[in-house]
Amino acid sequence: MSVQAVPEETLMQLVVVTWLDAHTIGNDEIAESEAVGKTHFGWPTHTVGWLVKSDDDGVTLTTDVISAKGEETERCFRGLHFIPRGMVQAEHKFNPPKRKGR
């Protein structure tokens, strides 16, 4: 089986999303009142992936893009991540340099 390069026009955009993640202190742990001040904020998080969708509701990224039946027009995804828009701080697109001779 030969491996062929994916045509550039069919590639999805690679992005990093900076967002504030919600968190919890485990249900089996007892927290003292001063713990509230130490945990009352979203955890800054950076997630990298292929951009599936970005709109007013949020951002969906995927870790894997699978060409169904070997056709670039039929895509399936594995490892979808949805981040609600209210948690998103920034979206940055990766723009890798073009290879010489292109």
Q: What mean pLDDT is reported for the chain?
A: 82
- On whether residue 100 sits in a domain, the answer given is no
> What's the total number of domains in the chain?
1
Domain range enclosing 80:
8-25+38-93
pLDDT tens, 1-41? 344 445 555 568 999 999 999 988 777 777 778 878 888 89
- On whether residue 64 sits in a domain, the answer given is yes
Angle CA 17–81–22, to nearest 5: 70
- On whether residue 59 sits in a domain, the answer given is yes
The residue type of 72 is E
- On whether residue 73 sits in a domain, the answer given is yes
pLDDT tens, 72-95? 567 788 999 999 999 999 999 988
Distances (CA, A) of 51 to 47, 48, 61, 75, 81: 11, 9, 5, 13, 10
- On whether residue 102 sits in a domain, the answer given is no
CATH of the domain at 69: 2.30.30
Burial track 19-35 (b if 16+ CB lie within 10 A, e otherwise): beeeeeeeeeeeeeeee
